Structure 1
Amino acid sequence: MIAASLAVLAALLVSVLVVGLVLRPRGASTLEFYLAGRRVGVVTNACAICGDYFSAASFLGVAAAVYVSGLDGVWYATGFAAGFVPVLLFVAAPLRRFGEFSIPDFLGRRLDSERVRLTAVTVVQLVILSYLVPQAVGSGLTWELLVGAGFAGLSPYVTGVLVSTVVIALLVVVGGMRGTTWTQAVQFLLLLAVFIWLAVVVIGSGFDYPSAVDKLTDEPLANPVQVDGQWQLRTEPSRLESGESAFFGHPGGRYGPLGQITLIVTLVLGTAGLPHVMNRYFTSPTGTAARMTTVWVLGFAGAFYALAVMLGTAARTLVADAATDRPWLAALTVDGVLRVPEYAPLVLGRIYGGEAGLAIVAIGALVAVLSTIAGLLLASAASWGHDVYERHINRDATQRQAVWAGRWAVLVAAALSAGLALLLRPYSLTALFPSIVATMVTWAFALAGSALAPVFILSIWWRRTTATGAVAGMTVGALTAVALVAAAPSVGESDLGELLLTPTIVAAPLASVVTVAVSLRTNPPSDVDRLWLRLHGTAGDRRAVRLAKLTIAGVGTGKRR
């Protein structure tokens, strides 16, 4: 089995590198390296965005959240999918119409300020790092589960972290945005195919979703806990009705009303501030194409997360039934309930496909990790290479020098994330890995939604936004989010603790108020009318302005047409 798994993994990783080589940029151009020449088609870009967005947290985490908490777990699926609604309505078309390289580049040029650019670079790098580390951890644990062996005396976990990081870093360095786009698009289709296959075999076994929910709701929801070194099932208390038990099909088992709202707000607003996702809109050829890309993404996300919810429910029903006649499940379950809920899709794969089925689902999880890492590394490269190196370190840089600066930034970001992932390994990751991944990904959304999204949206839709206001808003949003998350452990499990762990509902409005208040006391860019037309003007408007300028220039020089 190990040999077969290694062969499949090797074929996958070699294919990724070959695609990167074949589709690599043909010239040393920053436009080609960072944005694929802005010629990515609608459906291809939508698939690539999904490859960026559907990380291991989406592939394994949503099904796990439903498995462990029933209806409350659906809030993750809802928040992840709904996050693209504000992107469709408020961000996609104007962002592409303005046409820069990255979020810091957009904010710096829109507000005509290098302070804004450097502040945004700092926040973007924090978001990327908090997103990268759990992906690297996930790749190591997926390797452990699938292969179970290391190379050159290294543990399987360390081997998985290093192999995945090196391969994806090489893909990004060699292939740039063009090569990464096509591999991410193919990787997303592979993820979706894995989920569809799993859904087909589960439904083919006789599984019925409504009946399963009714059956699971007949008894209180119980999950494994470890007490004095012994595993046992504990009935979950309802957060909505004090003293009552939680049920699979009723809300309130995992989150109270406040926790549900804060989680949704964090995921929805956070999506609009994720740098590796927003950067993809700069690769669309037009604003209309960017908007249509988002429509496709919403459709793909709806299908993907609907399947994840169904599979989490199926696992809760079918694993318990299978545990009675499959001895290998005894080490993974307590009275038929999985100790680690993130194993739900993997165990379903093994139940219905044997070792080959497990390999298919595990490779899907690894593909989700690799695809997300690639997008994050590209966002980091654009931020450091274009916004810092070209603008501040070497203003006279050639295109080739700028591209190489981005490539070195990729290698540094990859090494840093892998190093932090390896440092986390000494802790009890077997038990803590699900909460570490979910928490760190939530932090990334919280930071993006608190510091970047408010300033981002205000800069697009409020003419009076100023550079000083944007810097103040990003700083207040970031510091508030970090401070509230840091205070969460001291509060423990409570409504206040849920608010502190998903602080966007507090930090984002505060950042918006600060941005508006400071902007009203400072001056906007002198050419705000031109910038506004660039953001929101139609093609006809822009042509009329160009013709007017040509006419004025002709009159001023005494020329006649």
Structure 2
Amino acid sequence: MNTVSVAVLGVLLLTVGTLALIIRPRRASTVDFYLAGQRVGVVTNACAICGDYFSAASFLGVAAAVYVSGLDGVWYATGFAAGFVPVLLFVAAPLRRFGEFSIPDFLARRLRSEHVRLVAVVVVQLIILSYLVPQAVGSGITWELLVDRSIAGLSPYATGVLLSTTLITVLVTLGGMRGTTWTQAVQFLLLLSAFVWLAIVLLGSGFNYPDAVAELSREPLTNPEHSDGGWELTTEANRLQEDQPTIFGLPGGRYGHLGQFALIMTLVMGTAGLPHIMNRYFTSPTGTAARMTTVWVLGLAGLFYTLAVLLGTAARALISEAAAEEPWLSELTIDGVLRIPEHALLVLGRLHGDEAGLGFIATGALIAVLSTIAGLLLAAAASWGHDVYERHINPGATQRQAVWAGRSAVLVVALLSAVLALGLRPDSMTALFPSVVATMVTWAFALAGSALTPVFVLAIWWRRTTAAGAVAGMVTGAVAAMLLFGTGTVIGGRGMSEMMLTPTIVAAPLAAVVTVLVSRWTRTPADLDRLWVQLHGTAADRRAERLARLTVAGPGVLGRRGQGRR
């Protein structure tokens, strides 16, 4: 296994490294480095967004959540896929029409405030770190099962974390947004092909999804739990009916009524506040292109998560049957049930494709990690390099200095995320969460949906939003989300504690109310009408508005602008 695995990994490293060198811009401007020149096509951008969004939480985590908790794991797939509906309806087109480099940049110009920019930068960095760490954890888990070899005395898990982080940091630093866009688009197609291949193999071998769910639902759901005496299988407590066991095909495996609703709303609302996803809309050439990109993303997400649910169910049904016949599974399972749910697709790949199948699925998992890390690092670079360095530290920076500031930010953020991931032990957290990777990513969604999304949507659709209101709303949402999450982690249990672990349904309305109340008592930007035309006006409206400004400014300004164009 190790020989094939190392060969597959070597091909992956060579491919990604070659792409980085081929598409590297020779003299990148900030628009090239952060936004790929704002010339990315609809289908290409849709595939790149999917590569950005379908992270380790999607590729490994959703199937793992279904594997370990049945129907309750499907809520992850539902929330992740539905998150682009609000983006399509409320965000994509106005965001691109207004145009900027990042979410902090958009809010700062829309509300005419540098205080808003700095607060947004802090929130964005917290979200990025919360999202980066589980990607690194996913890479460590995959390397541990795929290669199980260490470098320089490190554990296999730590080796996977450091190698994946180093590789993608080099790629992003060299290629910027243009290089990363094409790489992510190709990586998404590889991710999807891995899912499609495994689904075709399973269905061709006679696997039937409805029959599998019915068979799995005949017995109570059990999962391994680690204690001082070692691993043992325990029956999952039913969160909806305490006197009943948990059944694979029925809700209640991990969440009660409130927990299910809170989880889905956290994922749906959090998508619109994810910096690495929203920044991609600035790369579209027009608002219409941004909207059509989202339509494509919705279709691709629906296909991807449908396959993830199918494969998670297949893993639960087939791995337990194979455990008695495959000696190598004894190291990964307890009485036929995987100790680490994120191994589900990897084991399924080996069962149906031998070493090559394992290598193919593991390569997809590593690609998912690398692609998402790339998008997150670029978002971090835009936030630090453009919003902090160019705007505050060195306002007179040259294009070269600004790009190098972004590249330096990539290195620092990547190092910090790797250090945090190395401090985690995924096997010790498996008993607490249906999927460690998916759950950790959910924390990032909760912070984004609580602190950024309410302010973001209000700034786009409510004229009276002010800078003071936005600052108050972001701080309120972030603090409320972190306090609720910390409290829920400490008290544990059911009901309210489940909601506290996915606190967006409380923190987001609170942030919105605070934003509205403070905005009512403070002043809107003086040029609000012009800003509103940029957000929501037609192309003709925006041309008329620019012409009116130039006319008022006088012929001298017109002449100077004409010279500048020449």
Name the TM-score class by shorter chain: over 0.9
Amino acid at match of 2:332: L
Amino acid at match of 1:471: V
Counterpart Cα distance in 1 of 2:550 and 2:407: 41
SS at match of 2:244: coil
Report the counterpart of residue 151 of structure 1 in structure 2: 151
Amino acid at match of 1:359: G
Offset from partner CA, 1:329-365 (integer Å, 9 cap, x none): 2232233222222211111111111122111111111
Shift in Å, 1:429: 6.7
Amino acid at match of 2:344: A
Q: Do the aligned residues in 2 keep the contact of 1:342 with 1:434 (CA within 8 Å)? A: no
> Structure 1 pair 157/252, CA: closer, same or farther in 2 (3 Å)?
closer
The yes-or-no answer on 1:81 pairing with 2:81 is yes
> Structure 1 pair 432/418, CA: closer, same or farther in 2 (3 Å)?
farther
SS at match of 2:331: coil
> Structure 1 pair 308/537, CA: closer, same or farther in 2 (3 Å)?
same
Counterpart Cα distance in 1 of 2:429 and 2:508: 32
Report matched runs for 1:378-457 at 5 Å.
Answer: 378-424=378-424, 428=428, 436-457=436-457
Shift in Å, 1:144: 1.6
Q: Do the aligned residues in 2 keep the contact of 1:340 with 1:431 (CA within 8 Å)? A: no
> Structure 1 pair 347/445, CA: closer, same or farther in 2 (3 Å)?
same
Counterpart Cα distance in 2 of 1:540 and 1:395: 33
- What RMSD, in angstroms, separates the aligned Cα atoms of the two structures? 1.9
> Structure 1 pair 415/78, CA: closer, same or farther in 2 (3 Å)?
same
Report matched runs for 1:179-194 at 5 Å.
Answer: 179-194=179-194
Structure 1 alignment gaps of length 5 or more: none
Amino acid at match of 1:344: A
Report the counterpart of residue 562 of structure 2 in structure 1: none
Q: Do the aligned residues in 1 keep the contact of 2:68 with 2:434 (CA within 8 Å)? A: no
Report the counterpart of residue 29 of structure 2 in structure 1: 29
Q: Do the aligned residues in 2 keep the contact of 1:80 with 1:268 (CA within 8 Å)? A: yes
Offset from partner CA, 1:180-232 (integer Å, 9 cap, x none): 01111111111110011110111111011111112222222222224552433
SS at match of 1:223: strand
The percentage of counterpart residues that share the same residue type is: 73
Report matched runs for 1:97-496 at 5 Å.
Answer: 97-226=97-226, 228-424=228-424, 428=428, 436-496=436-496
Question: Which is worse superposed, 351-360 or 88-97?
Answer: 351-360
> Structure 1 pair 547/321, CA: closer, same or farther in 2 (3 Å)?
same
> Structure 1 pair 429/75, CA: closer, same or farther in 2 (3 Å)?
closer
Tell me the TM-score normalised to structure 1 length. 0.96
Report the counterpart of residue 51 of structure 1 in structure 2: 51
Counterpart Cα distance in 2 of 1:133 and 1:556: 54
SS at match of 1:330: helix
Q: Do the aligned residues in 2 keep the contact of 1:25 with 1:36 (CA within 8 Å)? A: no
Question: Which is worse superposed, 130-139 or 150-159?
Answer: 150-159
> Structure 1 pair 168/556, CA: closer, same or farther in 2 (3 Å)?
closer
Counterpart Cα distance in 1 of 2:551 and 2:127: 47
Question: Which is worse superposed, 357-366 or 398-407?
Answer: 357-366
Shift in Å, 1:15: 1.6
SS at match of 1:261: helix
Counterpart Cα distance in 1 of 2:378 and 2:231: 43
Shift in Å, 1:21: 1.9
Q: Do the aligned residues in 1 keep the contact of 2:346 with 2:362 (CA within 8 Å)? A: yes
Counterpart Cα distance in 2 of 1:220 and 1:429: 22
Tell me the TM-score normalised to structure 2 length. 0.95
Amino acid at match of 1:27: R
Counterpart Cα distance in 2 of 1:31 and 1:433: 41
Shift in Å, 1:5: 1.9
Report matched runs for 1:515-554 at 5 Å.
Answer: 515-552=515-552
SS at match of 1:24: coil
> Structure 1 pair 427/323, CA: closer, same or farther in 2 (3 Å)?
closer
